[in-house]
Structure 1
Amino acid sequence: MEEETRSFLGRFVDEFPAALEEDSPLPVSPLSRKVSLEELHGESLELGLRLLTARGAPAVLSALLCQAALSQLLQDDLSRFHCPEETEANQEEEQKAVLLQSEAVQRLFLNKLIDVALAWHQNFLKPSPSPSQFRRCSVHAIKNTRRKMEDKHLALAEFNQLFGIQDGVERAYYAIFDGHGGVDAATYTATHLHVALSKQEMLQSDAATAFKTAFKRTDDMFRDKAKRERLRSGTTGVAVLIQDQELTVAWLGDSQAMLVRKGEAVTLMDPHKPEREDEKQRIEDLGGCITFMGCWRVNGTYAVSRAIGDFDQKPYVSGDADCSTIQLSGDEDYVLLACDGFFDAVNPSAVPDLVLDALQQPGDPDGGDTQQKQSEEIIGLRVAQHLVSHAKAAGSSDNITVMVVFLRSPMQLLSQDPTTGTAQDTEDSTSQVAAKQ
């Protein structure tokens, strides 16, 4: 880790030896032209992580650099970046928010990031260790036959480092968002939900309440942006937070998460669909209706009953998330998150065999240590790719995103006794893999 960090910082300061000039183009484009002060937090972190990840930065270093740069940015007087006040026709006077010119303020953020990198390169300190419960994450996403890709996802094993949390509780965050009517709502939620979650005082003691509050806050924030920019999109979403040995899943709509323990599928949640009896009753009690038009739809429009956005159908399409929490006992294999493009074509009970099939695919034909090394390096791509390909072959035409978060080493799963769910005492190098985690 130390050598990798030194190497990256050297390359980065070679590319950015000094602050960006006022008239020079930004090396990465901001998500928005205007941002509120509350939105600045998420958009700056997204911008910084995108810049660093594209240049091969170690994940923990990226999180620490972005956190340090954002902390410095928020201490500055940002009033010089305020947009001229405008009275929008679709915005009530009392709801007007102070907006910042995004490109200008993000230039300052990137210059803070460059300054931090230069300082760390010149006075190198041994980097903070990676999360000790490192979890290998396999992700794959395809547009499939749809005209546009409207899915977004985020894997953040460095949750604490990104937000400067030092309470001794290890955290990792994973989420998938399935947009409809455009990608704006999915992009917005992927940028801001984890930020809103990090600000909840009850995060450690009551993750479910923290998640519900964060979803609600993100929906309210997107409502303001949708009014300003006349956006009409929505997104379902599912997010998982792992805190030490506690796993909390929160969801809106029909994106899903499932757990596999000892090779068996475990239900974590019940997706929100208009035809679900309690959802149907809720909507009818509000004066809405559920109609069948190729599929069940809310008031003849959206095929989802809960989502971020879709403000023309609120409160029928609810922004209130549901949550469930379980304690991990150590015998869990992995958590899988996916959008409905996957689950509409694949039964959850088929997932364990599909993952095992992917793990058992041949590695390096030379065998030996090279095969072991290659298997570990490509596992992150192969498992999710196999699941996505299966869903497509099974008839899914929708965008498909699949994320597999391994709670045990994939190589341990290969050596697992199917009758007991425990690792067999074989001659393979499982212990070497576990030691790397």
Structure 2
Amino acid sequence: MMEVLKIAVLFLGAFVVTIALSYGVSVSCMMVYDEGGVSAVLQSPECSRWILSSGYPRNQTVNCQAATFQGSREYQEDRLLCDLHMKIPLLGKTGLEEFTIGLVAVFDGHGGNEASEMASKLLLDYFYMHAVFNSYKLMTQYRGVLPVTEDDITQLEILREALLNTIHEVDFKFSQDAFEKKLFSGSTATIALLVDGKILIANVGDSKALLCTENIQSGNLTANLSAIELTEDHHPDRDDERARIQAAGGSIIGLGVPRVNGILAVSRSIGDVYLKRYGVTAVPEVTGWQPLNVNNRYLVVSSDGTFESLTPEELCALIHDSGSCLASSSLAECIVETAFEKGSMDNLSVIVVPLF
């Protein structure tokens, strides 16, 4: 009996390693990841199969409408990402199974485009790799198969942790570059994950994510779209943000708008390395996983320039009345054009995802 058990354990171990190797995760590469994260994996000869992609699709389709406009600014510092069809192996009931993940992100740069550019280039690769390596860790913990009672919860937790680790590591990598090259730029990061009818938002800064939700009033067959905001801006004068900044020795000075040490109008950002010591952080606020329903018609993720001249309610109303837009315009282009015409002076960037 003991011999049979030993053979079974050895077979299971070989099975786990074989599957892991098919995704480029050797034991030695796993050790590299544990010590230094994705950045270390990409630099290690032990992990030669892992390289940065040449670029994921930035979808411009009926299901992922994106638009960006420089507006009145001298430079365009916004960056967008939208991939609704990422294939990521996660531990399931029969071992590693491929899941389709949607990821939508807006990065609103300031002080230069270096931070938003790096974040937009690294986010998808880093997120994918964090998810794969953490799935492999669970494979060894659960010996290749996830307990049926835990599969959904564990898979969503893997994705949540992968996103948090990704934001942290992107910020750390950019901060290293910024110190070496004396860069002063920073960026917001507002990211939505879509998985199997559920949504999670991670937010750093003052870009926004919202749902345009259909409302049908009793006795009235005409529906309108109302806005459900999924993020809360990180402005320095928000009570909890102010407390953190002041506890770190920073100050809130109003120069047009409240600013950290009279400089930065957001209290959380990727980059801004010279203000990190004063409480500026890249740690995101993260919603729990929320189920979507048939009344949630559109997901909108946008830089704050849009909201200089449009409220979230006006934005959703514009989508509802999009017949007034040019026939050649997507919903995202219509929002950007309207916000500019109404007086926004900032860079303008919007992603609109029809949901049902």
- Structure showing the higher strand proportion among its residues: 2
Contact 1:173–1:241 at 8 Å: present in 2 too? yes
d(CA) in 2 for partners of 1:327, 1:266:
14
1:27 maps to: none
Cα displacement string for residues 352-398 of structure 1 (whole angstroms, at most 9, x for unaligned residues): 210122246575xxxxxxxxxxxxxx5xx421111111211222111
Q: Is it true that 1:384 corresponds to 2:346 in the alignment?
A: no
CA positional deviation for 1:233: 1.0
Larger RCO: Structure 1 or Structure 2 (Cα < 8 Å, ≥ 6 residues apart)? 2
Distance 1:362-1:391 versus aligned 2 partners, 3 A rule? closer
Contact 1:186–1:234 at 8 Å: present in 2 too? yes
Secondary structure, counterpart of 1:169 in structure 2: strand
Find 2:252's aligned residue among 279, 284, 290.
290
Contact 1:358–1:382 at 8 Å: present in 2 too? no
d(CA) in 2 for partners of 1:240, 1:42:
25
Find 2:180's aligned residue among 200, 221, 228.
228
Contact 2:56–2:124 at 8 Å: present in 1 too? no
2:267 maps to: 305
d(CA) in 1 for partners of 2:50, 2:346:
28
CA positional deviation for 1:195: 2.3
CA positional deviation for 1:181: 0.9
Distance 1:139-1:41 versus aligned 2 partners, 3 A rule? farther
2:189 maps to: 237
CA positional deviation for 1:345: 2.0
d(CA) in 2 for partners of 1:185, 1:257:
20
1:268 maps to: 230
Task: Write out aligned runs for 1:204-219 (5 A).
Answer: 204-206=155-157, 207-219=159-171
Task: Write out aligned runs for 1:71-86 (5 A).
Answer: none
Find 2:300's aligned residue among 330, 336, 354.
336
d(CA) in 2 for partners of 1:205, 1:405:
21
**One-letter code of the match for 1:156?**
D
Secondary structure, counterpart of 1:204 in structure 2: helix
1:322 maps to: 285
Distance 1:271-1:42 versus aligned 2 partners, 3 A rule? farther
**One-letter code of the match for 2:80?**
H
d(CA) in 2 for partners of 1:383, 1:264:
16
Contact 2:89–2:99 at 8 Å: present in 1 too? no
Distance 1:208-1:322 versus aligned 2 partners, 3 A rule? farther
d(CA) in 2 for partners of 1:309, 1:256:
19
CA positional deviation for 1:212: 2.1
1:153 maps to: 80
Find 1:280's aligned residue among 229, 237, 242.
242
1:259 maps to: 211
- TM-score, length-normalised on structure 1? 0.58
Contact 2:326–2:334 at 8 Å: present in 1 too? no
CA positional deviation for 1:404: 0.4
Unaligned runs of at least 5 residues, structure 2: 1-38, 91-95, 136-153, 215-224
CA positional deviation for 1:223: 1.6
Residue-pair matches, total:
274
Cα displacement string for residues 126-149 of structure 1 (whole angstroms, at most 9, x for unaligned residues): xxxxxxxx9711111011111100
Distance 1:261-1:297 versus aligned 2 partners, 3 A rule? same
Larger deviation, residues 179-188 vs 352-361 = 352-361
1:176 maps to: 106
Q: Is it true that 1:249 corresponds to 2:249 in the alignment?
A: no
Secondary structure, counterpart of 2:179 in structure 1: helix
- TM-score, length-normalised on structure 2? 0.70
1:405 maps to: 353
Unaligned runs of at least 5 residues, structure 1: 1-34, 54-58, 60-133, 364-377, 409-437
Larger deviation, residues 276-285 vs 224-233 = 224-233
What is the RMSD computed on CA atoms of the aligned residues? 2.6
Find 2:69's aligned residue among 142, 152, 161.
142
**One-letter code of the match for 1:296?**
P
CA positional deviation for 1:333: 0.2
d(CA) in 1 for partners of 2:260, 2:50:
31
